[in-house]
């Protein structure tokens, strides 16, 4: 049900983000998530009414979650200093693992130590915690200066840049340059193009952006990681690990491992670049998945305990190298390569294909595992080969330039940013300038 709610709201999410703003959109999403979680916990004497209310609550949670998902990354990447943008936007999406860790271990604890309805009411009610904190704290966060400028609130935008990018110095050279670049780029975008859905494929540069976004969304879900995400228990059973407690401990440990790796990689994204991390993840996943497949074949023929242990080790290695790129960069790379006018809609495109890939994982993977067992893994080996080739030949490096300057990488000097740069004064400010905050 959360998936249906999320898909239902996707077409409206860009209009909320662009119309009401990044902050209000995030707050609205949080309200729906909290309301949905509370509805799931609400007691009903009639079982059919309780089940119906629970399903409605799940739908509303998915609805609100995708509103927030469609605004939070935009707010972060548009407020962040160019020097820190990649790092903080990448960290944002890795925090999914933190929520997963809390959920996994809360469920494990309640199943072991609680009885009756508390076994499910406690973890269900805990879903209110994070969106509740976000709802209370979002009002202390600045609004996107790019959104403010798009709404004619230039002075407010300038004050945000002065405070957060210029150490409260209104005469800071970098802030003056950045403000002028954003102002001119958004003006030229409005003059040169629209912001409807057709804008996503109107130009060659936008078509390339959409192709990369679709590839990123599909690869993030269909590189073999969906097998573990949805069917870890079934995979462990194929190698003789059938005890539910052992399976839960492996799942909990795997989640913590994934978060630590993805968080570590996020701190180096601006130093070593996006393409390197994508390639490192793709090649590493291909190697570890191939060994995983071989060990599964050995276990199927010999029931060797060593082969079974090797499969578990390869699962951890596979998720370790995958965590270097896909958890964090799927969203941050998407919002970076899009110009402001279609950024919200492009992010929605990413979520649509992520959801469709999730449907594939839920419906195709169990059939493949049931019919082919370990032989089904060869499908994902082929996908990983295609993934590595696509990243190597087509993915564009976005390390270094501002959001406005990235447009030149796709559209050339004819982009709004390219024209604005030619119109600006002949001077530049290093993006490596240190920014100190009180």
Per-residue pLDDT reduced to its tens digit, 339-398: 888 888 999 999 889 888 877 777 787 788 778 877 888 889 999 999 999 999 999 998
pLDDT of res. 436: 43
Residues of the chain with CATH 1.20.1250.20: 1-141, 199-395
Q: Do residues 248 and 108 touch, judged by C-beta distance below 8 A?
A: yes
How many CA within 13 A on the CB side of residue 194? Answer: 7
Name the CATH superfamily, with its identifier, for domain 199-395.
MFS general substrate transporter like domains (1.20.1250.20)
- Residues with Cβ within 8 Å of 157's Cβ and at least 6 positions away in sequence, in order, are 145, 146, 148, 149, 179, 182
Name the CATH topology of 1-141.
Growth Hormone; Chain: A; (1.20.1250)
Per-residue pLDDT reduced to its tens digit, 342-355: 888 999 999 889 88
Per-residue pLDDT reduced to its tens digit, 279-288: 999 999 999 9
d(CA 236, CA 276): 32
pLDDT of res. 334: 92
Query: CA nearest 54: which of 125, 133, 129, 130?
Result: 125
Per-residue pLDDT reduced to its tens digit, 151-195: 989 999 999 999 988 888 888 888 898 888 888 888 877 766 666
Q: Do residues 200 and 349 touch, judged by C-beta distance below 8 A?
A: yes
How many CA within 13 A on the CB side of residue 342? Answer: 27
φ, ψ at 83 (rounded to 5°): -70, -25
**Global pTM?**
0.80
35 by Cβ neighbours in 10 Å (0-12 / 13-18 / 19+) ranks as: middle
Q: pLDDT grade, residue 432 (50/70/90)?
A: very low
Question: Interhelix angle for 326-337 vs 204-221, to 10°?
Answer: 170
Supply the mean pLDDT for the chain. Answer: 83
DSSP calls for 102-129: HHHHHHHHHHHH--TTHHHHHHHHGGGH
d(CA 308, CA 213): 36
φ, ψ at 214 (rounded to 5°): -65, -45
Q: pLDDT grade, residue 422 (50/70/90)?
A: very low
């Amino acid at each position: 049900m959360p998936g249906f709610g999320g898909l239902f709201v996707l077409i409206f999410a860009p209009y909320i983000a662009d119309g009401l703003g990044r902050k209000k959109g995030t707050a609205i999403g949080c309200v729906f998530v909290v309301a949905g979680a509370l509805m799931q916990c609400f007691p009903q004497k009639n079982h059919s009414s309780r089940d119906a209310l629970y399903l409605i609550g799940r739908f509303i949670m998915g609805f609100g979650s995708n509103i927030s998902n469609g605004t939070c990354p935009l707010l972060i990447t548009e407020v962040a200093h160019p020097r820190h943008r990649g790092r903080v936007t990448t960290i944002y999406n890795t925090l999914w693992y933190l929520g997963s860790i809390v959920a996994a271990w809360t469920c494990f604890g309640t199943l072991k130590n609680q009885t009756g309805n508390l076994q499910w009411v406690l973890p269900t009610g805990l879903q209110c915690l994070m969106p509740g904190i976000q709802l209370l704290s979002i009002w202390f966060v600045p609004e996107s200066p790019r959104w403010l400028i798009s709404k004619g609130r230039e002075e407010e935008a300038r004050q945000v840049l002065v405070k957060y990018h210029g150490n409260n110095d209104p005469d800071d050279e970098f802030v003056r340059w950045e403000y002028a670049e954003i102002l001119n780029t958004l003006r030229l975008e409005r003059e040169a193009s629209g912001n409807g859905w057709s804008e996503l494929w109107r130009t060659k540069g936008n078509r390339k952006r959409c192709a990369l976004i679709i590839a990123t969304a599909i690869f993030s879900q269909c590189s073999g990681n969906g097998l573990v995400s949805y069917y870890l228990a079934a995979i462990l059973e194929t190698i003789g690990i059938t005890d539910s407690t052992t399976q839960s401990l492996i799942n909990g440990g795997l989640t913590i491992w994934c978060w630590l790796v993805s968080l570590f990689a996020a701190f180096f994204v601006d130093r070593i670049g996006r393409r390197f991390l994508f390639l490192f993840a793709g090649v590493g996943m291909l190697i570890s998945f191939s060994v995983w497949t071989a060990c599964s074949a050995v276990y199927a023929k010999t029931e060797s305990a060593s082969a079974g242990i090797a499969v578990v080790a390869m699962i951890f290695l596979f998720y370790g190298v995958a965590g270097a790129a896909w958890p964090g960069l799927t969203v941050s790379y998407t919002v970076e390569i899009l110009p402001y006018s279609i950024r919200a809609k492009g992010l929605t495109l990413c979520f649509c294909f992520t959801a469709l890939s999730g449907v594939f994982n839920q419906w195709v993977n169990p059939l493949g595992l049931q019919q082919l067992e370990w032989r089904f893994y060869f499908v994902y080996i082929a996908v990983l080969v295609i993934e590595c080739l696509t990243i190597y030949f087509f993915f564009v490096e976005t390390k270094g330039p501002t959001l406005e300057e990235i447009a030149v990488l796709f559209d050339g000097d004819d982009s709004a940013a390219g024209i604005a740069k030619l119109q600006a004064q002949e001077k530049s400010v290093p993006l490596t300038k240190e920014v100190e905050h009180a």
